[in-house]
Amino acid sequence: MRIIVVPDKEAMGKRAADLVQAEMEKHANPVIGLATGSTPLPLYQELVRRHKEEGLDFSTTITFNLDEYVGLTPDHDQSYRYFMDQNLFNHLNIVKKNTHVPDGLAEDIEAFCEEYESMIDDCGGIDMQVLGIGSNGHIGFNEPGSSLGSLTRIKTLTDETINDNARFFDKREDVPTLAITMGIGTILHARKCILLASGANKAAAIKAACEGPVTAMCPASILQIHRYETLIVTEDAATELTIRVER
Ligand code: F6R
């Protein structure tokens, strides 16, 4: 694991954008896996800036998002499709049909999940997957206890994740309890992963992911066996690390 510690969120966004841009420039049709949540926002802001000011071209980029709530329409302001459109896709020259977010309204969710895996395969697999981490160590919506070999499927969210996400909804009861998520196995298939973390509330999860045992109880710990895994972590999220890091 390569662990890069940066002073703040802005620096995290820039370092991550450097890696994403370098990956995009290597492929005719780059396939980038994306996450939602507050953590990747500085990355998305930087990618939008590079597109607008430096001409970074997304016209041949294909994206796959990690997850989506079950039951929210794409125009619901807390759906992950809406989040991605508002925070990234609407500001780039990306072709909308090349942006994939799991369909939380799919009638046959199991069939949809299989199709999502096939779509990723048909595009040649994910070149670089961007990840955040939950305070309980989840990646995507793979909560503690998730099978380490899992593929895209429906998951029940833990109380901890519902509490974490309640801040985005009017009431805690409005937070959906089910989500479609790429599995841990899906994430491991990505040729490269970059995990971003910022904030003191992520310090324990980062410690467990990097220095704890590889265990389903901390899904992000599986990244210890990934062939190319880079963490970009702000100082306050890195306070519990004892291993050597880059600065
Ligand atoms: C969302 C996702 C989640 C988040 C995690 C952290 O697509 O993959 O695993 O990365 O819940 O969320 P934030 O960034 O809001 O702290």
Its domain, for residue 100, covers 2-237
pTM of the model: 0.97
For ligand 1, the distance from its centroid to the CA atom of residue 196, given in whole angstroms, is: 10
CATH code of the domain covering residue 199 = 3.40.50.1360
3 state DSSP class of 154: strand
Q: How many independent structural domains does the chain possess?
A: 1
Q: Rounded to whole angstroms, what are the CA distances from 2 to 25, 71, 89, 181, 195? A: 21, 37, 29, 25, 10
In a domain, residue 242? The reply is no
Q: Among the atoms of ligand 1, which is closest to the Cα of residue 67?
A: 7
Give domain status of residue 115, yes or no: yes
Q: With CA atoms as reference, report the closest residue to 184 among 224, 139, 137, 129.
A: 139
Residue 247 falls inside a structural domain? no
202 lies in some domain: yes
- Tell me, yes or no, if 138 is annotated catalytic: yes
The CA 101 to ligand 1 mean position distance, Å, reads 15
Q: What pairs with residue 196 in β-bridges? A: 232
Pairing of strands 67-69, 178-181: antiparallel
- Considering the domain boundaries, does residue 243 fall inside one? no
Task: Provide the mean pLDDT of the chain.
Answer: 97
pLDDT in tens, 194-245: 999 999 999 999 999 999 999 999 999 999 999 999 999 999 999 999 998 9
